[in-house]
Structure 1
Amino acid sequence: MLELRKGIDILSHVGGINNIAEAQDLFKKSLDSENLAKLEKIKNEEALLKIANAIAICEPDEVFVNTGSSEDVDKIRKWSIETGEEEPLAVKGHTIHFDLPQDQARLVKQTFYIINDGEKTSSLAKSIARQDALEYVEKYVKGIMKGMRMLIGFYSRGPVGAQAAIPAIEISSSNYVLHSAEILYRNCYESFDAEVTRKGVFFTNLHSQGPNRPEDIPNARIFMDRSWFTTYSTFCTYAGNTLLLKKGNHRFAVDYSVYVKTAEELSEHMFITGIKGPGGRVTYFAGAAPSGCGKTTTAMAGDAFIGDDLAQMWIAEDGTVRAVNPEKGIFGIVEDVNQEGDPYLMKVLRGEGKEVIWSNVLIDENKKPYWVGCGEEIPKKGRNFQGEWYEGKTDENGKPIPPSHPNSRATLHASDIENHNTELAEDPKGVPIKVITYSGRDSDTMPPVWVARNSDEGVVIGASIVSAATATEIGVSGVRRQPWANEPFIPGPLADYMQAQFDFFNSKKIKDSDRPVMAGINYFLTHAARGGNGKGLLGEKRDVKAWLGWLELYANGDVEAIETPIGFIPKYEDLKKLFAERVPGGKEYTKELYDMQFSLYIDNIIARIRLQREAYSKESAIPQKLFEVYDKQEKELLALKEKFGSVVKPDQLA
């Protein structure tokens, strides 16, 4: 079990501010009258002590309190330009931010959970002893903001007042980080004290980029103190490492739901979107996929888009599973975002009058951004994530440098996207989730869509995600397991998280009629793996409309399905109709393609089950339900193989 407030609070220990009187004295010395007056409106003493100790440790020359007012946010935008953290582009409201070449993605090997003696963490995570983290903070964080301005913001991770929303403080020396926070999160300066009282907890985040030099990157660290819900980030600027409200606080939210709100709340790496069905019905989906695996594309394929990355979920009093997006903006990968697959997003990226922060893309001489897969002719030269660029330029190893980094991003307001349902996204009641999906990058094993036969099998689909490594993580390669697509963000033992999943989705508080359908999705089957004559993927980006459309119909009892050992799969005639009606431009869906996509390649599936069983067998205290599901599925698959052979077509099961 996670024990809160255990061990030395590093922030207060190094800062040395122990009571509110000392904090107030420091504020009077460190803040001018305008910012002191702004801070005086915050009454929560624990929050004030956190802020005071951050000032004491970092020793900034100036402190700015961001209230979220238009005047404050304009100052942050202006400062970001003046310091060179951002540069204006041709389109008004668009800016470009470049991270150092060594800091283009999550620094996985430099990210740690601070733990106490005997405390267990996920076997897939890195940890550091509290004393070692303390020594790092004393050596590297002390004085890190000398000559700089400290910015402080108060935010809500979710609509203010939502049951699962959690308030947080973001402290940084980076104007870019606070500018991003204003786009991505709800400033709750005015209601911060009330939100802390309502929820009972808040998160604290402390970041400084330091001198922002390549030679400092080896010393960069991202620490998450689970016991004190406090993060530390140093010597880096990539938002995935520095905008700690995002994945740093998501980790804390996972801990909070697993250990404090067991069977009541979940914190997931999921999109939220609404799909229209017959008669104008809208069915809400939440879906998990590792970064770079189509999550944003899937979210925006919806008719009522809510969020593309994170979801805070809970069981409401009416027996429905409800969800809110902790964010109000998008920090999305832009590689392969184009007019064909992402028309709503492209309208913002290429339109006028919207605010966008670009990062690590190619900028041409006219200050226009381009990126790999944009569907437009890319200039022969420009500036990108490694400096001046020209077609054919290579790195020190002779490898061609692409026009844009594979993890290049765009930060924008979700409300600027045409299919975003801003009213529902800001509703503290959340949206009712009827379908849960899990997906990864799987070239040869699972079909494009399948539905769990019960909640236990649904949890196991999530536990069994695998994915090819993507550009969102530095120092990671090959095919890897990605449990629930949340694996990098599960602080505690996987057994605890898995049990919380079983407890939540089997809860008797959920009405049976509203219990979510749980499904797997796989966009990445290849011709080569399925005996096709073509190259690359069997499907297209636009096909997502058909897969989601079928799940919408199935969840509402409008179509039947074929039962298999891995779950229910669609019937051909239903998909044929959906491809013609829902895929943009209409598409003929052949029986040959259906058989290639939905035949069960039994040896591959059994190999995948055995790989997962072996991996989880090495974990301590994994719920027995997982192995029971694997054993049942393998037994049924072997029986099918004996009857039909190693490849079983859907018609043989119907």
Structure 2
Amino acid sequence: MAMLKPSLPGWKVQCIGDDIAWMRFDKEGRLRAINPEAGFFGVAPGTNTKTNPIAMSTCSKNTLFTNVAMTDDGGIFWEGMEKEVDRNIGITTWLGNRWKIGDEGKAAHPNSRFCTPADQCPIIHPKWEDPEGVPIDAIVFGGRRPEGVPLVYEATSWSHGVMIGASLKSETTAAAEFKAKLIMHDPMAMRPFMGYNFGDYLRHWLSMEQPGRRMPKIFHVNWFRLDDKGNFLWPGFGNNIRVIDWMCKRVDGEDVAKLSPVGLIPSKGSLNTEGLPRVDWDELFSLPKQYWQEDVRETKQFLDDQVGCDLPAEIREELEALQERVDSM
């Protein structure tokens, strides 16, 4: 999302940062954020001119690469660049072995990286280093969920949104410590950084809501849901602007959502799908009852095991209410 190239006309995306934000409320009660980093530290494999053209442009010069492969003409290569490099060119893998596109194995480490200055990004926002920061109207949690979880839904309250963040799960990637594709808990999308009392952390999030403060809306997105043949139900990439467009409508108070057991989902037809190949709306936003019953049960067990008596009462109440709604589907 940080370097999205929007497919909808009339939209312009500018980048503040791609990883970390420091947030605080200003004197008017508006949540604002700054980027404390000087650059981008991105996972290389899978990045190419189709999936992230802005990132490719950003790292085209003055960039450090770690554990990628090198081509014989002095260039770099990783999995995902097969259409951008001569298939016959010789390649030296990250392990120093000779290799060509089509050979067995991988040329780059799955977690190989590029490290590049942010000011090289062609869509960097002019206020990316402004100490006042930028206003935050929405917080978007996301997980790689191949089944069961809709494309987008909105929290019905701040405490409900905090519960969604605490319950976040995702299919593991090379950037995590797991190698197999498993659905793992990723609370607040910060599992690798959880080195403190998570109950206290959730209590801090809950305490942010105070009189006089303009609280951002909280959403959950899932670009990765699959159909029964293993194909993605949503085209993703630049078309994710269509989901952002819907979220912005909700921030502006537009009546384009309907209540579901898990939160507010787009009312049918409220998400702009014009120009896309056939989108199976009903499947994208379906909520399989048995799947969600098991998901809630497993989430409650995880939080009981990992947080126990430190889990804030508000989160327990939100989970109980979610379970009741799911059971009533």
TM over 0.5: yes
Residues 1:516 and 2:216 are matched in the alignment: yes
Equivalent residue number for residue 319 of structure 2:
630
Within-5 A mapping of 1:573-584: 573-575=269-271, 578-580=272-274
Is the CA contact (8 Å cut-off) linking 1:272 and 1:325 kept in structure 2? no
Q: Distance in 2 between matches of 1:274 and 1:343?
A: 9
Equivalent residue number for residue 328 of structure 2:
639
Residues 1:492 and 2:196 are matched in the alignment: yes
Correspondence for 2:119 among 415, 431, 434: 415
Residues 1:550 and 2:246 are matched in the alignment: yes
Q: Distance in 2 between matches of 1:596 and 1:540?
A: 14
By how many angstroms is 1:589 displaced? 4.7
**Larger helix fraction of residues:** 1
Q: Distance in 2 between matches of 1:417 and 1:579?
A: 29
SS at match of 2:269: helix
Q: Distance in 2 between matches of 1:273 and 1:433?
A: 17
By how many angstroms is 1:535 displaced? 3.3
Q: Distance in 2 between matches of 1:550 and 1:388?
A: 48
Within-5 A mapping of 1:232-311: 303-311=13-21
Is the CA contact (8 Å cut-off) linking 1:392 and 1:401 kept in structure 2? no
Within-5 A mapping of 1:116-155: none
Correspondence for 1:361 among 47, 55, 68: 68
Which deviations, in whole Å up to 9, do the C-alpha atoms of 1:545-566 show, x marking residues without a partner?
Answer: 2111211121112342011111
Identity of aligned residues (%): 25
Equivalent residue number for residue 150 of structure 2:
447
Equivalent residue number for residue 300 of structure 2:
613
Residues 1:602 and 2:289 are matched in the alignment: yes
Q: Distance in 2 between matches of 1:370 and 1:601?
A: 41
By how many angstroms is 1:273 displaced? 7.9
Within-5 A mapping of 1:300-449: 303-350=13-60, 354-374=61-81, 375-377=83-85, 378-379=87-88, 381-391=90-100, 400-421=104-125, 423-449=126-152
Is the CA contact (8 Å cut-off) linking 1:554 and 1:560 kept in structure 2? yes
Question: Kindly tell me: are residues 336 and 554 of structure 1, through their superposed partners in 2, closer, same or farther at Cα, counting changes over 3 Å?
Answer: same
Which deviations, in whole Å up to 9, do the C-alpha atoms of 1:528-580 show, x marking residues without a partner?
Answer: 2xxxxx433222233312111211121112342011111111123222xx233
Larger RCO, structure (CA 8 Å, separation 6 or more): 2
SS at match of 2:319: helix
By how many angstroms is 1:369 displaced? 0.9
Specify every segment of 5 or more residues in structure 1 that has no aligned partner in the other structure, as ranges: 1-270, 283-301, 395-399, 529-533, 581-585, 641-654
Is the CA contact (8 Å cut-off) linking 2:31 and 2:136 kept in structure 1? yes
Which deviations, in whole Å up to 9, do the C-alpha atoms of 1:59-113 show, x marking residues without a partner?
Answer: xxxxxxxxxxxxxxxxxxxxxxxxxxxxxxxxxxxxxxxxxxxxxxxxxxxxxxx
Give, as a single letter, the amino acid of the residue that structure 1 aligns with 2:203.
Q
Which deviations, in whole Å up to 9, do the C-alpha atoms of 1:305-326 show, x marking residues without a partner?
Answer: 1111111111111110011111
Is the CA contact (8 Å cut-off) linking 2:144 and 2:170 kept in structure 1? yes
Give, as a single letter, the amino acid of the residue that structure 2 aligns with 1:604.
Y
Which deviations, in whole Å up to 9, do the C-alpha atoms of 1:480-511 show, x marking residues without a partner?
Answer: 1110011221221111111111112x22241x
Question: Kindly tell me: are residues 464 and 475 of structure 1, through their superposed partners in 2, closer, same or farther at Cα, counting changes over 3 Å?
Answer: closer
Is the CA contact (8 Å cut-off) linking 1:333 and 1:408 kept in structure 2? yes
Q: Distance in 2 between matches of 1:474 and 1:598?
A: 31
Q: Distance in 1 between matches of 2:80 and 2:3?
A: 24
Give, as a single letter, the amino acid of the residue that structure 2 aligns with 1:318.
E
By how many angstroms is 1:623 displaced? 0.7
Question: Kindly tell me: are residues 594 and 390 of structure 1, through their superposed partners in 2, closer, same or farther at Cα, counting changes over 3 Å?
Answer: same
Question: Kindly tell me: are residues 496 and 540 of structure 1, through their superposed partners in 2, closer, same or farther at Cα, counting changes over 3 Å?
Answer: same
Q: Distance in 2 between matches of 1:482 and 1:447?
A: 18
Give, as a single letter, the amino acid of the residue that structure 1 aligns with 2:234.
G
Equivalent residue number for residue 587 of structure 1:
276
Residues 1:473 and 2:173 are matched in the alignment: no
Which deviations, in whole Å up to 9, do the C-alpha atoms of 1:573-600 show, x marking residues without a partner?
Answer: 222xx233xxxxx42454xx11110011
Question: Kindly tell me: are residues 589 and 424 of structure 1, through their superposed partners in 2, closer, same or farther at Cα, counting changes over 3 Å?
Answer: farther
From the CA coordinates, give the structure whose radius of gyration is larger. 1
